Amino acid sequence: MTVDYQPLGDGVVQITLNRPERLNALDGQAKRELAEAWARAAADQQARAIVLRGAGDKAFCAGSDLKEIQATGEAVASALLARALPDVGLDLNKPVVAALHGHTLGLGISLAIHCDFRIARPDTRFSFPEVRHGMLSGFSAITLPSLIGEAAALDIMLSARSFDAEEALALGLINRIAQDPHAAAIELATQLAGHSAKAMEWSKTLLLADRKRRLQQHMALVDQARQDVMLYR
């Protein structure tokens, strides 16, 4: 297994991207496992808040496994990718806290921005490198402008430039910086799990209703874009 699901107690479960030898880059199998983990968390009556982290000290997630894509010439189906992102392909009306560190690239940022809280270590480095590789982050292209604004989203997605945690905080991409984001994420998730589960569920549903509507409205367009980009790589 390259994605671990671990109950931590007090209503908190932890999902770990556990492929540190590949900087937690996600191949097709890992994306399937991640989709299964989100579905398990959604159905888990004991889970009231979720922490997402990456194993090892070097990376939260370095994105999709480019070696696999180069070898096969294919990317996973859009429906599977949507299910691998929290609250995109499957309703997940429980708060998700991402603990970020090191390389947080491409699909790694996509995972983070579809979580509800993002806490980053000072050394976290972000970038959307897809355009350099003939790829794109389709779902993030729909979500990101509402999070940080259209101009900033265009800047970081089209330039593919790298930026640090301080800039991510200034942009509104992350909520805070912490020396130990994992501990901070567990602390926050424990606090959230102590709130009324039904009130949290409805609050998240209402807060993200417009984002979910946009994602559902543009699901076919994202799929068309991903297929067209892969065709002309």
- Tens-place pLDDT, residues 173-221: 999 999 999 999 999 999 999 999 999 999 999 999 999 999 999 999 9
pLDDT 10s digits, 116-158 = 999 999 999 999 999 998 889 999 999 999 999 999 999 999 9
User: 169 vs 10, 29, 174, 217, CA distance in Å?
Assistant: 29, 32, 5, 29
Instruction: Tell me whether residue 130 is one of the annotated catalytic residues.
Output: yes
Its domain, for residue 204, covers 3-231
Taking only Cα atoms into account, the Rg of the chain, rounded to an integer number of angstroms, comes to: 16
Number of structural domains (the chain) is 1
pLDDT 10s digits, 82-103 = 999 999 999 999 999 999 999 9
- Distance from C-alpha of 193 to C-alpha of 191, rounded to nearest angstrom: 5
pLDDT 10s digits, 150-171 = 999 999 999 999 999 999 999 9
The CATH number that applies at residue 36 is: 3.90.226.10
- pLDDT tier for residue 233 given thresholds of 50, 70 and 90: low
Side-chain half-sphere CA neighbours of 18 within 13 A: 11
| List 21, 36, 130, 201, catalytic entry | 130
- Distance from C-alpha of 18 to C-alpha of 25, rounded to nearest angstrom: 9
